[in-house]
A = this chain, B = another copy of it.
Amino acid sequence: VKSDTSRIEAFSDGVFAVAATLLVLQISVPKVGQDLLRALAGLWPEYAAYAVSFLTIGIIWVNHHQILRHLQKVDRTLLFLNLILLMTVALIPFTTDLLSTYLVAGHQDNVAAAVYGAVMTGMSVAFSALWAYAVKAPDLIREPGAGPGIGRFSVGMPVYAAASLLSLLSGKLGLVMYAVLALLYALAPLAERGRSGRASDA
């Protein structure tokens, strides 16, 4: 009948989908009266931040999917750790708005970019904690040793922390780094696929 993990998936998928879709609310309609094309062009950080955050949430969702596939059931600790992860994911529409607003204004956007990265770092920590707990709970995991190693998801923490610190140099640099990270995460498994066949990474 129903997998024991189906409702945690339903709730999590809901939060991921709503958080991704709410990102659009930070894109502003230029006030009537100015030249519309020029005004739209001036808001490029809103579109860039939208794309980066949407892609990032999508990648977290894919990885979350991959973790839950390896679980045969969940306990309260895992539900709690999952809630902490979702709490950081649902913050992303705010940090995206913060980042794009300050990039548009060209003022203290380095601070805004560092805050953006700090939330991503927190998200990585929550993600690693979730997976580290699951792999050590042999009655939760479907097939011990079959899932991705802890290292795979832990690499995000130092990388996002470093990007967050570096973005204090320049907010635009921060945006570029977050975009590159999202693309790396999205495309790295594709490269891997080329080497090892498609069967195992669906």
Contact = CB atoms under 8 A, between A and B. Distances in A.
Contacts of A202: 4, 73-76
Contact of A18 (B17, B35, B107): B17
A181 interface: no
A87 B40 CA distance: 18
Contact of A15 (B1, B17, B97): B17
A123 interface: no
Interface in A79-99: 79-80, 83, 86-87, 90-91, 93-94, 97-98
Given A21-B22, A79-B62, A1 B3 contact: yes
A27 B94 contact: yes
A74 B42 CA distance: 38
A41 to B, nearest CB: 11
Copies in the complex: 4
The secondary-structure label for the interface of chain A is: helix
Given A83-B54, A190-B76, A17 B14 contact: yes
B190 A36 contact: no
A146 interface: no
B111 A29 contact: no
Given A18-B14, A18-B17, A190 B80 contact: yes
B105 A76 contact: no
A147 to B, nearest CB: 16
9 contacts: A11-B13, A14-B16, A19-B21, A24-B90, A24-B91, A76-B186, A76-B202, A139-B198, A139-B199
Query: What are the 7 tightest A-B residue pairs by CB atom distance, in nearest-first order?
Result: A14-B17, A18-B21, A58-B83, A32-B105, A10-B13, A36-B108, A76-B189
